[in-house]
Structure 1
């Protein structure tokens, strides 16, 4: 693994992965800060309500994760081709689509929230605060979706440090506003929602400013002929291929969101304490997934570049190195939660019933890095290859062939059954993608 001829590729992976790991971790850390701020209020229904509300908005953003994934894969491949104009068109097209989708959700917010809250369940107070939170956050959806495109484009162009500083700056703004609105202005759940809303628009403006400054001459050249720019942006065949690619990623993401929403909604039906405890555990899960995604993000960019250059040797080497480091980081996460999970719980909440209940399920969080690291990495590989159909099929199998059947069989074990089904679901995702890549490697590459 560490032959001298391979060291440069290890360095390239780490050059991209380490900033991505640091920046990715700030996202769930922010969620933990939000949870900690609300978790120290008097009642569990504040945390339960904000969790349900955040999940409703987050599900919309994650459902549109195809914007980030397709942008990363396409921009990485055009980077390999050395076509800057085409690269920038991918960014502009993605941002336009993101804003349109965001506006549609704002226009349809009342029926969307009514239906989602009816499905979510929970006590009357959890429902009230979930609705209060979501009605504020939904106005930030256009910015949140545009940020997916911006981050995806930066990752595809191997600008990991820019992504890191952009996310760190945004999350610092969010945390400061969290503390200001909740502890100084006493806005409770509304304060956390407003903080996230303002942070999303801050991120969008900062990202656009950075890209416009760095690519000023190329963007000026593109905009000099507006009609030609529009023809290239809305070329019928290009748009058809773009929407077909995003359709498959959308189906894949929809299956994933169904599983996440099911865990949250099922917890709400089991009681306020359960949904609050699961909120903490889900934030731990996000901390794991976003951290491991740092290696996957680097693999996306490097695999996409190698695929664009048609350099099969470099592509295979990238996959081997990424697999090795994904396992190493998964072991580190397992060690981290084995030793510090109880400490983290005490920081996040001082509601004894929530902490006591959550402690019963820490085993699953300790196990998850080793179980799930493979699906994160192979997702990244297939994003770089832009083979969305394979990702779609893998997710459908894992969702409807593993998660729901296993939950049905294990539901007698309550919340443990839910987390067991989810763990096997994550393992199935990685196993099916790994099987396809190694059995059909020639067709994949």
Structure 2
């Protein structure tokens, strides 16, 4: 049998496929839950990330006003699990983690930047950010002219279309606004899936390997050994070992198959024993039939040889008696042959015996007369003694005579 047709392979393939599907679904749910909760940054919030990035970029620009912020952001923040973008005062957009952001988010960021640049050009001194909070920078109070719908709880802004995002963090260099850092409150699902895919694939692969090994050791291994035991017992039974039995411990389907096999083996063993007993009975029957046929033939031969002796002078009464015995033995032989034919036709059915009143003296006389030549040749004599009240019996005359004739023949012969 080819390995891909094995029942174990098909079951294992189904189990591994189901386990892989469960892992994929769990990974997707995990990624979705992280994207919806906004908890993709361990130890910090999106607002704190924005303020930290703004401070970092402000320090870079103070050291070198011509610094390549695109390369710097890519080198420093490429491994972050939360995307953001930097909107500079000259209109450039530097992205990190994702190349595309929702258009409403970009439009609101440009609106915020234009309004703040306008205030700075008028000479207003806005309160940009104060870093006196226990969890990082605090968002400023609404400035004059800001629309209330842009301010929400926890520093989140919500545009006219209802799109929420974290309040932009300003990049201040030398007292001037150089740009804004905008961090979406939730990381996109596709972005998180791409970031977590290698780790999730590694974990899923390990779980699949360990699960396959554990499943093979705890489920398929014992079942395979038990089925092999049933197969071995079947092969032994087929080779003639009627004592072969399969282990049927347990209450599962394999135990049910083993129990059915053991019942079949016990039935076959009983039938084989019955056939053996029947064969022995047939052999014994052949021996008995041979003996039954030999007894009347021997008696007839003895009387015929006596009648053929010319030197022996027999009176007419003795000759008639001998001829009568020969006739009786011939009839008895005919009945035996008839019984054998009837037995062959009605084998296995019950036979009824005649119930007649039989005189015991007549039975004894016929047995003594039949075996007279054999007794004379063996130098023995047959005597009969009947107790008072036992002169008649109830039974089958022919079968009683047959039993007595066989008993006398065996006594004379042995």
Tell me which of the two structures has the higher relative contact order, counting C-alpha pairs closer than 8 angstroms and 6 or more residues apart. Answer: 1
The two structures have a TM-score, normalised by structure 1, of 0.17
User: Whose Rg is larger?
Assistant: 2
The two structures have a TM-score, normalised by structure 2, of 0.18
Higher strand share: 2
